[in-house]
Amino acid sequence: MGLPQELWLAPAAVQLQESGADWIDVVDDQPWSQGRGFHRGFSSSFRIRPDRKIWFHFPFQLPAGSLVDQVSLLWESEEGAILSWVCVHHGGMERQHLCPPNQPLTGTPEPFDPPEMWRHYYPACNRLRTDLPISPAITTRFGFQLCVQADGPGIVRFYGAGLRLATPDA
């Protein structure tokens, strides 16, 4: 097997499965964010309405035949929102669960202190990094997507999503 590599997506790559004002409320005091969230260069933020569960999808473009053995997520939640389920979709229609449903996701703190001159542009940050092994590892064929369910009410912020891959030896 080749050397493992990490491949990361920027937070703006995240796709909401459900959107609109019935699902997503105003976040970070930006009225135009209602229904769609707030995508910055460094994070994508969403305020989930009460009694809503929303799937967020991170699509990766990978060469067919790549071997994926771990996914990672940089994230945080506020005001009661939790990440409650994580899975990957691959092979067109196949799904593999990485944690049990309805069990809040945890992570390791990944602090960031912005430069003083830019600090007023950044919201307070309590980022977490969660690394989830994929066992058995997945050989890609028709695509690969990290899927994260978040339960409201509250705010979720994504700072990126990654995966670890190695190309099998020929």
Q: Is 82 helix (H, G, I), strand (E, B) or coil?
A: strand
**Predicted TM-score of the model (pTM):** 0.92
- What is the model's pLDDT at position 2? 59
- What is the model's pLDDT at position 99? 92
CA distance 44 to 39: 4
CB 49 within 8 Å of CB 25: yes
Dihedrals phi, psi of 2, to nearest 5 degrees: -70, 180
The secondary structure of residue 123, as a DSSP letter, is: P
170 residues of the chain, pLDDT tens digit each: 556 799 999 999 999 999 999 999 999 999 999 999 999 988 999 999 999 999 999 999 998 989 999 999 999 999 999 999 999 999 778 899 999 999 999 999 999 988 999 888 887 789 999 999 999 999 998 889 999 999 999 999 999 999 998 756 54
Scored b (16 or more CB within 10 A) or e, 69-79 reads bbbbbbbbbee
